[in-house]
Chain A
Amino acid sequence: MEHVIETKNLVKKFGDLTAVNNVSLSIKKGELFGLLGPNGSGKTTTVKLLTGQLKPAGGDARILGIDVFRNPIKVRDLVGIMPEQETPPSFLTAEEYLHFVCKIRKLKNAENRCDKWLKFLEFENQKDVLCKDLSRGTRQKLMFAQTFIHEPKVAFIDEPLINLDPIIQRKVKDYLKVYVRKGGTIFFCTHVLEIAEEICTRIGIIDRGKIIYEGTLKDIRRKKQHLEGLFLKLVREDRDA
């Protein structure tokens, strides 16, 4: 099966700190890959590298066959990215922001696309409110909508559910499941293990910038292990090493 996300020996340093240390990953089309790790383990930095938002100190990355570091704009044009922090422009309204993203992505039928997402994530009544005045949850809905508004083949989503209420969480989880079933690929960062356990098809665990585990949820269940137990054990072992 075709690999849509591939990295080899990816390294990122911030001064003396090695935030991402020789990360190599291959993610196939139709996978919902969860990158799990404690706070500050390198999840967000990995996503920023994979989407060309940061330049690596070493290594390669290809998304949909495109070299990320040579063509970052092309990659960001094709994929959807939901950043960890919701940073829509302060003085646009929610609806204006979605139109703004449609303009940047040169999308047709902007009106329909915006309406669809406002309805689906149930924030139509907030569409005229300035982004800076939206609640964190609504801003997260907005960021989720902009990630998928162009129906990308690959999406990188960083802690997408953390501020959402249980009703919208359910909708988003179901949407993601259908999305991968239809052939989309998702690279999903989280430290909420229950969510990863529920929706991911495969996971990787990262700690101190290194991938310390990779495997499917089925493998974990087959070995009669629990994700939380495995996670805690591996992270502790890594830190003791």
Chain B
Amino acid sequence: MPEILKSMIKEEWRLHSTMFGSLMFALFPVMIAIFSFAGSLFLPLFETIMPAGKIVLLVHYVFVLFGLSVGGLGLFSREVMNRRFGQASLLAYSSRNLPVSERKIFLNFFIKDVIYYFLFWIVPFMAGLAFAMPFIYIGFDYFLMLFLTLSLSFLIGLSAMFFLSTVFAHSSRFFVAALVLAALAGIPLAGYFSIDLLSYLPSFFLLVSRSWEQLAVSLLLIIIPSAISIIFLKADFPERKKVYRNSLVPLSGKLGFSSNPHFVSKDLLDLQRSEGGPGKIIFSFIFPVAFIWMILFVFLNLIPIANFLLIFSILMGMIASSVYDWLTEYDTFASYAFLPVRISELIRSKISGYAILNQVPLAILVLAAFWTGSLSYLFAGALVFLSVSSYSLSIKIYLTGLYPSILLYNAKIFLVYLLLGIPVMLALIFISIFNPLYLLASPVLIPVSLYVIKKSCMKWDGKEQLAF
């Protein structure tokens, strides 16, 4: 293994294990395996709702989505790490003071990410499935094939996102124009959208057809976008100084209705001025939401009793909490520790920022209601979205404070997060299937969220601040 890659893998391990201990970090894949095992045992139950083949197809798309989100994270993680640890301390920046090209560093970084996510997510997921095999009657050869095709699905998503991020880095205007064109072209195509079309995902088609051609197509879909990304890599130049006129004061004036307008303004400026600009929201929020839309749109045809808009609202509420991760990414408490600022004050300001940014998913929800002709469900959808969004935000704040993207990698915290979040989400989905009107009671989650946030503020104010 090349020395740079070996060192990057060591660095990744030490980075995470020093944050919350080697054991808790090492237990993370064990937990993924347990969840996968438990989920696999429910497969026969899912088969009563949806044919097995469609479930497998859905899982493939979940892996594509996972690849897309990992790629999006990789795109911005260097900037975040730079803020936390300083440039000189990370190998990703070593091209600046060592005779190594930025391209070589990026290639190693890409491979390191693939290995890291493969070992920490995909292998444990498959291990969980392997343990469940005797109970769900999956043959060993099918299991091996599934291992291969799911890995390929993840890599297809990852490569696609690296490719898109390269396009974005060269020209954000071109990127946005391409997205708009794709959306416009997609509208007539959407009429023809069907599961049959989706099943042409080469990695899934490989599982079904077991042909060398599909393996080759899958590999090409991984290699070509990745190669283009590496060839056309746009290195950032740290010596370039970014200059802005004072926007904090006027923006704070406009946000005077919030409790801490200067903090909220700062967070919004962080999002706007950091690498990727507002495009980050496209990558990390709108992209997965669009993806879930597509998957639900197609798969819910198999469950006619399920209401698309309501289930979409519930899932979007969960995904919306990722916006909080972005709001906390660009500052560390070290910037405030010497000022008269409480952690709870910062948390409250992030919640204000979160509430402002939640207008984007609400707008998407309105569009979705128009699009699907479900305006009669819009009110219930909006209520359930706001309820789930505030609930998932509150448990995230309680468990991770100002460090969601770090502390969620602690196995224990992640487990509690899932246990508090998933049952509520599933219960709401089942309620929506049983009788959509019952979702009008979902705002009961809002006082629960307010209580959890109050407790969170007391919890984090009482703690000596973590040094991340």
Name A's B-contacting residues (CB within 8 A): 48, 51, 53-55, 73-74, 76-77, 81-83, 85, 87-93, 95-96, 99-101, 103-105, 110, 128-130, 132-133
Contacts and interface: CB of A to CB of B under 8 A. Distances in A.
B270 A93 contact: no
Given A87-B332, A100-B266, A76 B241 contact: no
Nearest to A104: B339
B337 interface: yes
A89 B266 contact: yes
A92 B248 CA distance: 8
B338 A128 contact: no
Contacts of B246: 93, 95-96, 99, 128
A90 B266 contact: no
Contact of A55 (B247, B266, B340, B464): B464
Contacts of A81: 338-339
A133 B338 contact: no
5 contacts: A53-B338, A95-B246, A128-B243, A130-B243, A132-B83
A83 B249 CA distance: 25
Contact of A73 (B269, B274, B342): B342
A104 B248 CA distance: 13
B252 interface: yes
Contact of A77 (B238, B244, B340): B340
B273 interface: yes
A113 B315 CA distance: 48
Contacts of A110: 249
A81 B83 CA distance: 21
Contacts of A100: 248, 262, 266
Interface in B308-367: 330-332, 334-335, 337-342
Contacts of A95: 246
B332 A130 contact: no
Contacts of A55: 464
Contact of A92 (B245, B269, B464): B269
Contact of B244 (A82, A83, A93): A93
B242, B247, B337, B338 pick with most chain A CB within 10 angstroms: B338
Contacts of A128: 243-246
Contacts of B269: 91-92, 96
A133 B241 contact: yes
Interface in B229-256: 238, 240-249, 252
The 9 closest A-B pairs by CB, nearest first: A81-B338, A77-B340, A103-B262, A96-B248, A76-B340, A133-B241, A91-B273, A91-B270, A87-B334
Chain B contact patch, size range:
20 to 34
A85 B270 contact: no
Interface string B257-277: 000001000100110011000
A53 B241 CA distance: 32
Contacts of A73: 340-342
Interface in B195-244: 238, 240-244
Contact of B266 (A87, A92, A132): A92
A89 B335 contact: yes
A81 B338 CA distance: 6
Contacts of B252: 103
B247 to A, nearest CB: 7
Contacts of B245: 128
A83 B247 CA distance: 26
Contact of A85 (B83, B334, B339, B340): B334
Nearest to B342: A73
Contacts of B342: 73
Nearest to B332: A87
A206 to B, nearest CB: 20
Contact of A51 (B240, B273, B335, B338): B338
A41 to B, nearest CB: 19
Contacts of A82: 338
Given A91-B269, A92-B266, 13 more contacts: A53-B338, A53-B465, A73-B340, A73-B342, A89-B270, A89-B335, A99-B249, A101-B339, A105-B339, A128-B245, A130-B243, A130-B244, A133-B242
A128 B238 CA distance: 17
Nearest to A135: B241
B275 to A, nearest CB: 10
A87 B244 contact: no
A92 B238 CA distance: 16
Contacts of A85: 334
B339 A76 contact: yes
A91 B330 contact: yes
A81 B337 CA distance: 9
A54 B464 contact: yes
A102 B340 CA distance: 11
B274 to A, nearest CB: 6
A116 to B, nearest CB: 16
Contacts of A101: 339
A49 B266 CA distance: 28
A26 B252 CA distance: 41
Interface string B270-296: 100110000000000000000000000
B340 A53 contact: no
Nearest to A131: B335
A133 B274 CA distance: 12
Nearest to A55: B464
A56 to B, nearest CB: 10
Nearest to A74: B340
B266 A130 contact: no
Contacts of B249: 96, 99, 110
A104 B242 contact: no
Nearest to A51: B338
A91 B248 contact: no
B304 to A, nearest CB: 48
A132 B334 CA distance: 14
A212 B266 CA distance: 44
B377 to A, nearest CB: 40
Interface in B54-94: 83
Contacts of B274: 90-91
A73, A74, A90, A105 pick with most chain B CB within 10 angstroms: A90
A76 B244 contact: no
